[in-house]
Chain A
Amino acid sequence: GAGVSQSPSNKVTEKGKDVELRCDPISGHTALYWYRQSLGQGLEFLIYFQGNSAPDKSGLPSDRFSAERTGGSVSTLTIQRTQQEDSAVYLCASSLAGTEIYEQYFGPGTRLTVT
């Protein structure tokens, strides 16, 4: 079946502009995660959605970052007034549920470059 999809695959933007990144999870997966991976680094947790519960936003690095998930499916990560340090690969993952027994499946990522 279809995996996690993300769009765009690449995004180049000027410093100060806003960007929106989209994630389409695997059908039936109630948990959705956003991570950020800078060059040569591990994955940094950003935000977690589980069903209709309030999201865990504790990983968002600043108030310029926000995310929403509509209808328990598609999610959008928005970065306002982008800075050069926001340049990274943004990865979305989904799992059947947000517990420790379910593995997370990753999308192909969006490479964001802020010039």
Chain B
Amino acid sequence: QKEVEQNSGPLSVPEGAIASLNCTYSDRGSQSFFWYRQYSGKSPELIMFIYSNGDKEDGRFTAQLNKASQYVSLLIRDSQPSDSATYLCAVWTSGSRLTFGEGTQLTVNP
């Protein structure tokens, strides 16, 4: 089992829709969770982080964490073509490092 798994893509949504990106992790002791966005040919940039169970909202982005289910998700409301990118889920594991999923490629169609 991979330490961090993301839903297989690519994911395609129409402009204005909600995009839902999912991630599960295997280390039950993980405490911190990060979502990075990576445009093609560019380096990852942090979108959001979440530490506590529940929802955390920042503009059009909402991160959701359920530690009991070892599940974290990212919702993008009112998706825009500029949101088209690969989204990387990263989990801070007990090994004192960030472990990344392989990413989900999102395409928002105008």
Contacts and interface: CB of A to CB of B under 8 A. Distances in A.
* Chain B interface size range: 20 to 34
13 contacts: A33-B98, A42-B102, A45-B97, A45-B98, A56-B96, A56-B97, A99-B96, A101-B51, A103-B46, A104-B46, A106-B43, A106-B44, A108-B42
A105 B46 contact: yes
Interface in B86-110: 88, 90, 92, 95-103
Please report whether the interface of chain A is mostly helix, strand, loop or mixed according to DSSP.
Answer: loop
Interface in B57-105: 88, 90, 92, 95-103
B43 A101 contact: no
Nearest to B94: A100
Contact of A106 (B4, B31, B45, B102): B45
A115 B34 CA distance: 35
10 residue pairs, one from A and one from B, having the closest CB atoms: A100-B32, A100-B92, A42-B102, A106-B43, A43-B100, A42-B100, A103-B46, A106-B44, A109-B43, A100-B31
A98 B43 contact: no
